[in-house]
Structure 1
Amino acid sequence: MTQLASLRYRAFFILILALLGTSAQASIPSGMLSGDDPSLAPMLDKTLPAVVNVVVTGKAQQAPNNPLFNDPFFRQFFNAPQQQQMEHPTAIGSGVIVNADKGYIVTNNHVVRNAQKIEVRLRDNRQFKAKIVGTDPATDLAVIQIKAKNLTQINLANSDKLRVGDFVVAVGNPFGLRQTVTSGIVSGLGRHIGNPEGEQGSRYQNFIQTDASINPGNSGGALLNLKGQLVGINSEILSQSGGNIGIGFAIPSNLVKTVYQQLIKYGKVKRGMLGVVGQNLTPDLAKAFGLNIDQGVVIAQVMPDSPAAKAGIKQRDVITAVNGKEIDNFSDLQNAIGLRSPGDKVTIDLLRDGKKEQVHATLAKASEMTGAGDASTGGSLNKNLAGAQFGPLTDNNPLSGDVQGVVVTNVQPGSPAAQAGLQPGDVITSVNRQQISSVSQLHKLAGPDTKQLLLHVRRGQGALFLLIQ
């Protein structure tokens, strides 16, 4: 490149930044414009060693079952070998070192799920065996640990300060291609994308959307700002082919920090509970209640002796904000409550009969409540129950006094729970032949590690068993 061409290139680049505004210029590291060409290389030289390759070897699986191959007479007569196990399936993902001294690495839960063995490869080609410190399927995050010296960690940025249009860089190992870097911008914030193709997925969602290329193998990798700070953990892509189409999603760093600190401390996440059953405020509901708003969460039920009840929240209240942050829908309320810890204090803005009210609540633990609300059911359920919401059996239920159990308050169409046969209004009275009377018992008996669920369900005047596996 000639000196004249270089000057023209730099002038053009600075002009583009000027058009984007002074805030965009301020986000560019001072060293990025030094020399003949603008470059991300100085920042990446410092951060790439903190992004690792994660190779997971899963549990062995049986070949397709044929009982004849396990019959001694059949094997002897036909000289057939005994049925063998298939090779261990292997997954490849990414991870980010967040504590160099202790060797803690954050990755996605779906990367290490069902892992038999985990190996971590660093940028300098050193390899280490890793152990799982804790996992949180509800946010699709996990922490693993290696014993190694001379590690590099990435500092976390305040993801609440991100804006649509900010420059970001994605780092990971797509398709096994180590230390791959792509760049783009923040395309959207606060995204909720559901659980694709019936997978357990993440329940608490507040994704950063980016057009920086994210592909299979990028999961668990870093989404960086131009200062080299972590703004998110790459987690999902939206694609019909499995490849990148410019729509990727990352878990915000503030959420990552909250979860990984609890995983390191407790091995799991302890979530706060409010104790309400709620639903989105639709235009029809707003009209029926005489309200001139169309966003918020209508409270359908308040659990007895719950933080919500103690705070004075009532049925038909419409929650519009938590700690000053607007609540547009049920997912917003679920995140606002479920991503906080027991004992946290929250300020809740609501509408009651069209008048603004403000109440204060101290969140409780799941074990401290006999029933749990939709927005704060704490803990994780079996993936086959995803899409269903549960509440206690109240006195106004036709089956009250006849049975004990947990009410299915809502089922999302097409969800795993719907495919399993659950319907709104069902009353689950037992799980795997054990009687239940509260949502907390349901969580205990139907956790994510339960391989098979035998549910006894009362439906209207009838009853049935549902076998879910």
Structure 2
Amino acid sequence: MRTSTLLPLILAAGLASALGDSTDSPLAALDAATQQVVDRVQAAVVGLDVERTNYGPRDLTAPERQLLGVVMPYDERYFARPEGPCSAVVIGPQLLATSSYNVAGDGEITVHTADGREVHATRLGTDNNLGVTLLKTEQDVGPALELRTDEPRVGEFVVLVARSKASTPYVTRGIVSGLDRFGGDAFAHSARTNYVNTGGVLVGLDGRAVGISTQHGHRARQGQNSGVGFAASFADLAQNLGQLKEGKDIAKRKLPFLGISADPETFNGGEHGVRIGRVVEGSAASEGGLKAGDWIKIFNQVEVKNFLELREEILSLKIGQEILVTIVRGEETIDLTVKLGSREEQD
């Protein structure tokens, strides 16, 4: 049985024991706890209609095709954002928070409330690191959520509550599966996410809001309903909340940069780890002696199996940090010291 399936069952068993309720079924206890959470927060979750450009079909890049195992012709519409609603959450009087991905551009925004009203909203500030934008509504649209001030914990159960235009909320559930994703700006979770519930709220079993479901651009690995989702914690959002309310944007910070691209034929890894396809001139990789055709076997004492693992490891480090890289070049195994550079992240 997969961990993502087993943990909720363990939690449910604990709930059944703790509640001492009329049912002896752990799954029934989990369902009851989930319903209690939804009932507590659903009035603070709204749907959004956003006027946006029709993105149209999107071609996959060669690395994306490699990652997804796409070798035959495919329907390009699958990788294009369809027309339809998304979600946001109430965090204060006439104040919403949502994924920046939902409200990119300058199109009109209409809010659909839990009690059936339609209210106009405008954009305030955006935290370009967390991928969260605040919205100002013309009138109150619901009660504010109770926000967690502490970071999520790996393994804790979360309920993702969202809304489209319907009077009933849209709910999925899962666990917090990882922290410090995207350079520390997101945590990973297993609740199924898609275009509708992006911008919805992840809530703990205590009914407090843990984070906002975010979408980090058109990345194929964030497949719809895949069980791999990302969110920004309210603890992180609180650090710049005052500036965001004033309509100020938080600039995208520079990220650590190695300066290589993977060989497309070995994007998912190979015999010795990650094979370098190209080295950016003047980059940390170039200055450190890495060359096209080298295999990166161990990076900062971590054995990397594919390019995505290498990328996550780079993003966990600091600009200017010196790290040891073990490569395979021909028949030789070589240790090189590389000092990480910087760049602004591009989708």
Q: TM-score, normalised by structure 1?
A: 0.45
Partner of 2:45: 51
Partner of 2:326: 350
Q: Which has the higher relative contact order, 1 or 2, with Cα contacts under 8 A spaced 6 or more apart?
A: 2
Indicate conservation of the 8 Å contact 1:160/1:254, yes or no.
no
Residue 120 of structure 1 is matched in structure 2 by 111
Give yes or no for contact 1:271–1:340 (8 Å, CA) kept in 2: no
Aligned to 1:328: 305
Which residue identity lines up with residue 342 of structure 2 in the other structure? A
The question of whether the paired residues in 2 share the 8 Å contact of 1:233 and 1:252 is answered with yes
**What is residue 253 of structure 2 aligned with on the other side?**
270
CA contact (8 A) 1:56 1:118 kept: yes
Preserved contact between residue 278 and residue 330 of structure 1 (Cα < 8 Å): yes
Deviation at 1:124, TM superposition (A): 6.5
Distance 1:129 1:90, change over 3 A: farther
Gaps of 5+ in 1: 1-18, 61-88, 191-203, 237-243, 287-293, 367-377, 381-469
Matches within 5 A, 1:285-434: 294=271, 296-320=273-297, 327-337=304-314, 343=319, 345=321, 347=323, 349-353=325-329, 355=333, 357=335, 359-366=337-344, 378-380=345-347
Q: Secondary structure at the match of 1:305?
A: coil
Which residue among 115, 121, 139 is the counterpart of 1:129? 121
In the superposition, relative to structure 1, how do residues 184 and 102 fare at CA in structure 2: closer, same or farther (>3 Å)?
closer
Q: Distance in 2 between matches of 1:132 and 1:113?
A: 12
Distance 2:306 2:201 in 1: 29
Q: Which among 255, 258, 263 is matched to residue 279 of structure 1?
A: 263
| Alpha-carbon contact 2:260-2:276 (below 8 Å) kept | yes
Matches within 5 A, 1:164-175: 167-174=157-164
Name the residue aligned to 2:134: 144
Describe the shift of the 1:312–1:186 C-alpha distance in structure 2 as closer, same or farther (beyond 3 A).
same
Identity of aligned residues (%): 17
Asked if the contact 1:218/1:235 (under 8 Å) is kept, the reply is no
CA RMSD of aligned residues (A): 5.3
- Aligned AA for 1:52? V
- Contact 1:57–1:91 (CA<8 Å) still a contact in 2? no
Counterparts of 1:140-219 in structure 2, within 5 Å, are 141-146=131-136, 151-155=144-148, 161-162=154-155, 167-174=157-164, 176-185=165-174, 208-210=189-191, 212=192, 217-219=196-198
Does the 8 Å contact 2:161/2:170 carry over to 1?
yes
Looking at structure 2, the residues matched to 156 and 317 of structure 1 have their Cα atoms a distance apart, in angstroms, of 45
SS of aligned partner of 2:108 = strand
Q: CA deviation at 1:172?
A: 1.0
User: Structure 2: which 5+ runs fail to align?
Assistant: 24-28, 55-81, 180-184, 217-223
Structure-2 separation of matches of 1:96 and 1:130: 14
Question: 2:252 is matched by which residue type in structure 1?
Answer: V
2:97 maps to 105
Which residue type is aligned with residue 251 of structure 1? Answer: F
Larger Rg: 1
Q: 1:91 to 1:141 in 2, by over 3 A?
A: farther
Equivalent-residue separation in structure 2 for 1:171 and 1:310 (angstroms): 48
CA distance in 1, matches of 2:334, 2:121: 56
Is the Cα contact below 8 Å between 1:171 and 1:223 reproduced in 2?
yes
Matches of 1:50 and 1:275, distance apart in 2: 44
Q: Quick check: 1:95 aligned with 2:88? A: yes
Give a deviation string over 1:362-415, Cα, whole Å, max 9, x none.
Answer: 33235xxxxxxxxxxx335xxxxxxxxxxxxxxxxxxxxxxxxxxxxxxxxxxx
Q: Calculate the TM-score normalised by the size of structure 2.
A: 0.57
Where does 1:444-459 land on structure 2 (aligned, <5 Å)? Answer: none
Q: Residue 331 of structure 1: CA displacement?
A: 3.0
Q: Is the 8 A contact 2:295 2:327 kept in 1?
A: yes
Correspondence for 1:3: none
Confirm whether residue 220 of structure 1 aligns to residue 199 of structure 2: yes
SS of structure 2 residue aligned to 1:116 = coil
CA distance in 2, matches of 1:49, 1:320: 51
Q: How does 1:238-277 map to 2 (within 5 A)?
A: 247=226, 249-253=228-232, 266-272=249-255, 273-277=257-261
Contact 2:199 2:214 in 1 (8 A): yes
Please tell me the residue identity of whatever aligns with 2:109.
I
Q: 1:184 to 1:103 in 2, by over 3 A?
A: closer
